[in-house]
Amino acid sequence: MLTYYTATTLDGWIADPDDSLDWLFRQKQGDVPGFGFDEFMAGVGALVMGRTTYQWVLDHEAAAGNAWPFTLPTWVMTSRELPAASGDVRLASGDVRAVHEVMTAAAGGRHLWLVGGGDLAGQFAEAGLLDEVVVSIAPVTLGAGRPLLPRRLDLELVEAAPNGAFVSARYRVVGPLLEDRAAADG
């Protein structure tokens, strides 16, 4: 199962126009069963993220004097050369289907976490590989930035709960919008 586990502002941005997440770390985090980070990570066997997310994590961990925070195999989707992290990080490009297949094998029966990149989440969704979106919605609006998921998708709400300053929700990915599916079928 591939899960896009993320946070967003109330107006649907995962980062501001400068790729900053400062808005996120000012919020009081919760640990409601079904939505807590530690609980989620206990079931994860491999990660995938986009280049911008990878670079942000590297830069912010280095600034704090920390090493790469993940011990699990991690794929970074990029077409550029990037600095290496100290962990098990693999650079990949091209069709997400091939990466999904290798990640699934590496995860050993555990879940896959799509860490960040709304467009990357969209690529997995278009390939029919994104199973769920777990999103914590913060009481912040930015007006612009990086969108949560820049695709037209139907989702089904599975559960939702207040979670600290957030409202957290779990959605099953149904697929492209019904009207888009109908148009494609002719």
Show pLDDT as tens, one digit a residue, over the chain (186 residues). Answer: 999 999 999 999 999 999 999 999 999 988 899 999 999 999 999 999 999 999 999 988 888 888 889 999 999 999 998 888 888 999 999 999 999 999 999 999 999 999 989 999 999 999 999 999 999 999 999 999 999 999 999 999 999 999 999 999 999 999 988 887 777 786
Domain that holds residue 67: 8-166
Q: Does residue 177 form part of some domain?
A: no
The count of structural domains within the chain is 1
Which pLDDT belongs to residue 168?
97
**Of 70, 46, 55, nearest to 20 (Cα)?**
55
Q: Is residue 174 part of a domain?
A: no
CA-CA distance, 38 to 28, in Å (whole number)?
16
Cα 135 to the center of its chain, rounded Å: 9
2 belongs to a structural domain: no
CATH at 113: 3.40.430.10
Instruction: Classify the C-alpha dihedral 103-150-170-37 as positive or negative.
Output: positive
Say if 50 falls within a structural domain.
yes
Terminal alpha carbon distance of the chain: 31
Q: Is residue 148 part of a domain?
A: yes
- Cβ contacts of 86 within 8 Å, gap of 6 or more: 67, 68
Rounded CA-CA distance 114/53 in Å is 11
> Which distant-in-sequence residues (6+ apart) come within 8 Å of 31 by Cβ?
37, 38, 39, 163, 164
Q: Say how many residues make up the chain.
A: 186
116 domain-assigned:
yes
In a domain, 152, yes or no: yes
> Structure tokens of 30?
């919760």
The pair phi, psi for residue 2, each rounded to 5°, is -105, 120
pTM of the predicted protein model: 0.93
Q: Is residue 185 part of a domain?
A: no
